[in-house]
Amino acid sequence: MSWQQIIFGFFSYGILLYSLVLLAFYLFIALFAIGEIRHYLWANRFTDYRVLAVSSNAPGMSILAPAYNEAATVVENVRSLLSIHYNNLEVIIINDGSKDESLQKLIAEYDLHKVDFFVQERVATKKVRGVYKSANPVFHKLIVVDKENGGKADALNVGINIAGKPYIVCIDVDCILEQDALLKMAKPFLEEKGYRVIASGGVVRIANSCLIRNGRLEKVNLPDRFLPRVQTLEYIRAFLLGRMAWSRMNGLLLISGAFGAFEKEIVIACGGYNHKTVGEDMELVVRMRRYMEERKEPYKVTYIPDPLCWTEAPVSYKILGRQRNRWTRGTIETLRFHKIMFLNPRYRLLGMLSYPYWLFFELLAPIVEFAGIAGLLLSALFGFLNWSVFFALLGFIVSFGFLYSIFAILMEVLTYNQYKQSKDILRLVLTAILEPVLFHPFVVWSAIRGNIDLLRKKNSWGEMTRQGFVVKKNP
């Protein structure tokens, strides 16, 4: 057997084995998620969250919302945050050196005044220029911090230094939170399970085409345009299946930066958000887990399947490409920072399963997929492989992906059923059919571009232009 044969055989059998393990993982995740969602729904079916909203024993929560050049929407977004049902709450808006009139608009709208405030630098940050509070008692929960520009992670770290409550909830300021979002997020921290809940994530859903009135979600609609709609499907798949299954195993590595709650003392003990990565949300969760593992303290990172946070998805391939490129770079950086955990039994499930899964099946998947398809295509073109086998294999893989999407839609229908009309469900099914052609190849390509950009030391965040929600004002 020649060396070419050995390499070729290794490549081909490797791809085959990789695909089989990946399919097995998907199957396992889909089935394993069912138990977790079912348990959550049963356990919370009769929960009266209103009790917590008014209780003097409810744990204190600080919402941290970094804002950069959000002048157009910041006033409305803050109003939305202040209307959330939770008594023991403070809302901290961190103006990350905006070049527009964000701060001036907030000062004028909420009657803000600069106050004497000692900012204890428990996590190192850029300079804080001032802390503002409202003279109007109606807005007593609001704190606005003005600081030098330092990026999202730095802004969140300032928020951590300012926060006076034991739990922090980090959100994107332009997200729409459900009114009872914090009540639901607080519950896992209050349950006695024999371990410490260090972080809790909430499901993020796509708000494009939804109706928003006065900063509140009024009507859920399936996005009209293909690109946000296919991301709706993608989010359902990721949140209802992937994250719930990993949460059940206590192997979650990622809580979305758009909405996550953390125990503040652990965050500080870990050093806060890392501003050297564009994937600061994932990196923080991994670092917190690593911290707990190294101290051998029992802990859990939980996930709530309720749709609690709504965000606007990119509507153009250009913006989507930047987002996916950034996600890829963030994942690579995070895994690189914590490479000591890879297959390290000291980190138990985290090192032996979560980390390898993310490395092989999240990070390397686009590369393997690209290389695999290109390799098979070339093999077929040069006559090493029958076209019939090529197409049959492609058909099998696409069918499996399609089935996985349909299963996710079924779970959505059986659980939260946000899209009430049958025609919406059929549109989602149709979207799942089109996804392998119109969406997936682009996502794979963006991820590969992310790898290339990282090699070229490109570490920009990538501008995210938003179109804005369908807003309905009160008459």
Partner 1 sequence: MPFLEVHPIQYLKTGYLVVAMFVLLGVLFSVVLFMLLYLLARKKREKQKERWHQPVDLLIRRAIFFEESPDRMQIPITPGVSRWLKRSYFRQFLLDEMITAKKSFSGNAAENLVRLYNQLRLERLSLTKLSSLKWHIRARCIQELAAMDQKDQVGKIYRLTNHPNEFIRMEAQSAIVHFYGFEGLRFLDVVSQPISEWQQIQLLAQLPKTLGAGLKGMESWLKSSNSSVISFALKLARIHRRFELHDAVAGCLDHHNPAVRIQALKCLQDICNETTATLIIGRYEKNDRLYRIAALETLQCMGPESAEQQIGFLQKELLNEDDTIKLATARVLATVSGRGTQSLDDFEKAGEYPWNEIIRQAKGEQTKSGKAA
Binding site for partner 1 (CB under 8 A): 2, 4-5, 8-9, 12-13, 16, 42-43, 45-46, 48, 51-52, 55, 57-59, 115-118, 120, 122, 137, 187, 190-192, 376, 379, 382-386, 388-389, 392-393, 395-396, 399-400, 402-403, 406-407, 409-410, 413-414, 422, 425, 429
Provide, rounded to whole angstroms, the least separation between the CB of residue 239 and partner 1: 19
- Our CB check for partner 1 shows the closer of 375 and 462 to be 375
Report which residue type is found at 366. P
Q: How far is the CB of 422 from partner 1 (least distance, A)?
A: 5
Instruction: Please give the Cα distance from 398 to 439 (Å, whole number).
Output: 13
Shortest reach from residue 448's CB to partner 1, in Å? 23
* Least CB distance to partner 1 at residue 260 (A): 20
Would you say 2 or 474 has its CB closer to partner 1? 2
Beta carbon nearer to partner 1, 430 or 452: 430
Task: State how far the Cα of 236 lies from the Cα of 338, in Å rounded to an integer.
Answer: 28
Taking the complex as a whole, the smallest distance from the CB of residue 194 to partner 1 amounts, in Å, to 8
Residue 269 or 444: which CB sits closer to partner 1?
269
Cα 441 to Cα 236, 321, 350, 398: the distances in Å are 19, 11, 30, 12
- Work out the burial of residue 99: count CB atoms within 10 Å of its CB; fewer than 13 is exposed, 13-18 middle, 19 or more buried: exposed
Ramachandran quadrant class, 69 (left: phi over 0; alpha: psi -120 to 50; beta: rest)? left
Say which amino acid occupies 321. G
Q: Which is nearer to partner 1, 9 or 468 (CB)?
A: 9
| CB within 8 Å of 448: residues ≥ 6 apart | 366, 367, 370
Q: Which is nearer to partner 1, 385 or 448 (CB)?
A: 385
If the CB atoms of residues 202 and 321 are measured against partner 1, the closer one turns out to be 202
User: Considering beta carbons, is residue 202 or 314 the nearer one to partner 1?
Assistant: 202
Q: Shortest gap between Cβ of 135 and partner 1 (angstroms)? A: 10
54 vs 471, beta carbon nearer partner 1: 54
CB 165 within 8 A of CB 265: no
Measured in residues, the chain has a length of: 475
Choice between 352 and 398, CB closer to partner 1: 398
| Min CB(451)–partner 1 separation in Å | 25
Shortest reach from residue 446's CB to partner 1, in Å = 27
Nearer to partner 1, 191 or 297 (CB): 191
**Whole-number Å distance between alpha carbons of 398 and 223:** 24
Paired sense of beta strands 167-171 and 61-67, if any? parallel
Nearest distance, CB of residue 31 and partner 1, angstroms? 13
Closest CB 426 distance from partner 1, rounded Å: 8
Of 74 and 292, the one with the shorter C-beta distance to partner 1 is 292
Q: Shortest gap between Cβ of 242 and partner 1 (angstroms)?
A: 18
Tokens, residue 260: 């996550």
**Smallest distance from the beta carbon of 442 to partner 1, in angstroms?**
24
